[in-house]
Structure 1
Amino acid sequence: MSNIKEELIEQMINLASCRTSPEEWSTWRNNHNKQLESFLNRGEYLRLRPCVHGFRWLPIVRSQQGAIKYLDDGNILYVKENSYQENYENELEEFIKANREMKKQR
């Protein structure tokens, strides 16, 4: 197995298990972007690409979903955790609260 494939699988397992921060994932992905683009098919590559968004957790939730699909398709064992989704939901709830407060103050 090539080094990039081993490293990619390790990163995907980390994503599925919520063991990397959004910033760590973004940095790793940016540093390996060309290798990923040439190694993965277009769909796999795009599913791992974090969306550009104002929230911190939503982009990694999307990348986690892509990693889980890749791991499932390859029959690679991992443990799925939900803390990214939970963090996103909390972040969204705080955003909604802040929006409501701003509207009340107007």
Structure 2
Amino acid sequence: MRFLSGVAAICTFALYIYRLYTVIHCMSRHPDDFPSHVDRVVWSVLAVIVPLGIGAYLYDLGSRKNPIQLMFLVPFTGVVLSVGYVMLKIWPRSTNFQFDFLGM
């Protein structure tokens, strides 16, 4: 369990670094690169507010047209798998709730 917590913590830290990188990239671009002068601020706020780096990934998809971003996908997958493991394996045992319909 400690290993899984460590993996989730490292992945979450990597996602924060990715968000910071995206905000810096967005704010350092020239305003003429965006259709409107408000778009730069909107993308930056979106990257900061939406959790787990999803807003930053949307900026990569929408503004930079960069569909595959390993700096996002690897840590995001680690966090999702860690949370999924906790939800399906540890949480039912700690609450004594039976997930019979899942075959567990």
Q: Name the TM-score, length of structure 1 as normaliser.
A: 0.44
Q: Name the TM-score, length of structure 2 as normaliser.
A: 0.44
